[in-house]
Structure 1
């Protein structure tokens, strides 16, 4: 064997050894860098407030910072599409609601993603109870007062919305009670509330996190929660059933997703962290103070829930007579 041949064999052997060493080297433990948590609503919204608290606590558990990135607009579909197209490596996560995953596919003619196939469901976060609030200058103090006023003044009242729950709840109220109201959609809840307080619109269904401080300060009047039963977070506010609107039960859910195809071990780690957050009494209380009802469960339970809610919201939107835009 010539010297050149010997060198060639040595070089080939070195390369093979290097390849084996690389293959045997353990992959970096997840996460080894900060994680982006995408929020589909503006800063100051209920999902944003709860999402930031979750981000802080999850970060403590997994040992890396979760950086919140707001991508609002188009019924949460801008953010959802962004996450659906991201790498499924666990470094782009999505905290969202029924807006992107239950309602948008029925409210919009062209949604650029599949809410089931394009995502990895990770864990439920809880519920964001909604309340019906009105400008206190209006001459009604109950839902029945509102209905009587609206029937006596058809088309005079306007209702704002900052998300799908607000859209569907407002349309459902009008349909169930036989009243006419003008719908005024907003890009997000904070601006809708600003105009409601300013008198540009008359009423809206808003999440507790965003609306309750204005109710407590007297800038808005709460008439009911958007569910058939009262909320444990605000037990003094009547349910829609109490308020005389039977079979009205609309709730906003919150949950965590990633792009489709995430590694199972990453999903398990994140699911465990989220469950740890909602089961911590101090954190659960802090979320409750924001108007957020925190609870979670398994990844499989959340996956089944997402499909159930997609069917449920399709029926709600159809029954309310809302046409896709």
Structure 2
């Protein structure tokens, strides 16, 4: 008993130090892991948010790109980081939902490996083709694919877009060859260079090439037209009712991060996403700045997991 009493000051000291560290959070720079290469939509969102969130927190946030395996490498790295709030992971539809449907084995679990903080952005994908492709509408692309089964190459940056294309292929009754890329930037380079003929990619990544005449946009994948390019029809408007796919991003931290730290990060993000500057910046790419509670983001991730596993099964995409 005496030995137990003697240990109390040590235990109380540890609790006191922990409580002080949480109350003082953050007292040093943070890092934000982006599981994709520079230049893609998730990277663009991360760099925009990190600057503003750093101001809110009074600390620098260093963006760290760790690309590969549809974001699985960077997500696993983030999941294994200390649960102290100093490592943020910019998750997205691939890392937090679709990878579970396309990978037989992941080094992390989208639900149990992370504590959600907030969703931050939602935007449409664009269906684009190389200017040399003889298709100026989605219907013409479908007919071209039917006339040349298996001869058109389409690129995707991540498993999320792969499943979206497979869902469209199933609806349209066509078959194209899939070329996987580690991120949007290399996929766009190959589309512009003519190595691939078709690319499904987030609006913010590919639209500058469309505006420059280096790629041709045929449709947006959401149920509403893009605010930054209202002239582009949706997939549903062109005869494929029910097709509605968005790209989304959100911030998570390693599971077990103190709730007070998660709430501090959430408050900062809520202010960032409410700022007119960030809203205007995102609107340039037809992205919508979003702020959700940790609980709302958690529920959304679980909902997306169910949705995309069903899509994968229906499209015959087996985990590899």
Tell whether the 8 Å contact from 1:38 to 1:83 is kept in structure 2 after alignment: yes
Tell whether the 8 Å contact from 1:225 to 1:239 is kept in structure 2 after alignment: yes
Tell whether the 8 Å contact from 1:229 to 1:240 is kept in structure 2 after alignment: no
Structure 1 unpaired stretches of 5+: 1-14
Hey, what does 2:151 align to over in structure 1?
156
Q: How does 1:49-198 map to 2 (within 5 A)?
A: 49-198=44-193
Q: Output the CA distance in 2 between the equivalents of 1:248 and 1:23.
A: 52
Helix, strand or coil at the partner of 1:258: strand
Helix, strand or coil at the partner of 2:263: helix
Matched, 1:27 2:48: no
Helix, strand or coil at the partner of 1:172: helix
Matched, 1:257 2:252: yes
What do residues 27-78 of structure 1 show as CA deviations (whole Å, max 9, x unaligned)? 1400000001000110001110110010000000010111000000011110
Structure 2 unpaired stretches of 5+: 1-6
Max Rg structure: 1
Tell whether the 8 Å contact from 1:165 to 1:251 is kept in structure 2 after alignment: no
Cα offset, 1:231, TM superposition: 2.7
Cα offset, 1:151, TM superposition: 1.1
Tell whether the 8 Å contact from 1:169 to 1:226 is kept in structure 2 after alignment: no
Tell whether the 8 Å contact from 1:165 to 1:205 is kept in structure 2 after alignment: no
Q: Output the CA distance in 1 between the equivalents of 2:44 and 2:150.
A: 34
Helix, strand or coil at the partner of 1:27: helix
Tell whether the 8 Å contact from 1:59 to 1:65 is kept in structure 2 after alignment: yes
Matched residues, number: 311
Q: Output the CA distance in 1 between the equivalents of 2:43 and 2:14.
A: 41
Cα offset, 1:17, TM superposition: 8.9
Hey, what does 1:321 align to over in structure 2?
316
Helix, strand or coil at the partner of 2:218: strand
What TM-score, normalized to structure 2? 0.92
Q: Output the CA distance in 1 between the equivalents of 2:10 and 2:310.
A: 59
Q: CA RMSD in A?
A: 1.9
Cα offset, 1:176, TM superposition: 0.9
What do residues 267-299 of structure 1 show as CA deviations (whole Å, max 9, x unaligned)? 111111111111111221012224422111211
Cα offset, 1:92, TM superposition: 0.6
- 1:231–1:112 distance in 2 versus 1, CA, 3 Å: same
Q: Output the CA distance in 2 between the equivalents of 1:82 and 1:110.
A: 15
User: 4+ residue runs of structure 1 moved beyond 3 angstroms?
Assistant: 15-26
What TM-score, normalized to structure 1? 0.91
- 1:140–1:20 distance in 2 versus 1, CA, 3 Å: closer
Cα offset, 1:248, TM superposition: 1.0
Matched, 1:272 2:286: no
Tell whether the 8 Å contact from 1:50 to 1:292 is kept in structure 2 after alignment: no
Q: Output the CA distance in 2 between the equivalents of 1:147 and 1:19.
A: 68
